[in-house]
Structure formats: C-alpha cells, structure tokens
Amino acid sequence: MTNLAKTYEHPYYAVIFSSERTSGDHGYNMMAEKMVELASRQKGYLGVESARDDNLGITVSYWETLADITAWKANAAHQVAQRRGKEEWYSRFALRVCKVERNYLFEM
C-alpha cells in the first residue's frame, strides 16, 4: 500500500504502469511488494504511488533521470518480475515514460 509521493522541482520523470490482471494471485502480491522495496533502493528513485481495483491497476514510479529508469528496467530481479508479469500476471498492460513538467500538491 502506498500513499502520495512527494512533489519536486521539475523536471523529473514518471513511469505510468497500467495493467489488467489475470485471475488468481500466482505470487503476484509478494512480488509487487518486493519490487517496490527494491525500486526504492535504486539510484534516482523519487517515490511510487499505486492503486488497484477490480478493473485496473495503476502504479506510477518517479525518477530523477531517464538513465535511472533504464537502469531499473535492467535490474536482474526486476527482469525476472517483468518476465513473470507477461507470462502469468497481466492480460494487458501499458507502460508510459513521461517527463513531469509541472506539479501541484494540495493538503487540507
């Protein structure tokens, strides 16, 4: 479970990962938690936000540079998770790499 990520002086980068799951867990939840923990120790990691309901899951991770995103994509344990994602966990997903140009935080 995640809360709001911090906002930063822009620009920084966001990876929007939107997914539709297959049925059953197949070790998904444990791996998802592990990946968040592992990502948080990567160079350039700024934060992560995640929400899932019955229809769709959205995980947004935030990074200092595009090179940091490339390095995280190439991480060996993450590569294993990416492969299992395609084979077991996701029926469809979209991945979007974005440059955050403006951000705004509201707190009551």
45 binds its own copies (CB under 8 A): no
Q: Could you give the CA distance from residue 85 to residue 101 in angstroms, rounded to a whole number?
A: 30
CB of residue 56 to its own copies, shortest distance in Å:
5
Task: Give the CA count within 13 Å in the CB-facing half-sphere of 79.
Answer: 5
Segment 66 to 105, residues that bind its own copies, using CB under 8 A: 86, 90-105
Q: Could you give the CA distance from residue 70 to residue 74 in angstroms, rounded to a whole number?
A: 6
Closest CA to 5 of 48, 38, 36, 43: 48
> How many residues bind its own copies, per CB under 8 A?
43
User: Which of 37, 55, 74, 76 lies at the binding interface for its own copies (CB under 8 A)?
Assistant: 55
36 binds its own copies (CB under 8 A): no
37 binds its own copies (CB under 8 A): no
Q: What angle do CA 60, 63, 64 make, to 5 degrees?
A: 155
**Which residues lie near its own copies (CB under 8 A)?**
1-5, 7, 14, 16, 18-20, 22, 49-58, 60, 86, 90-108
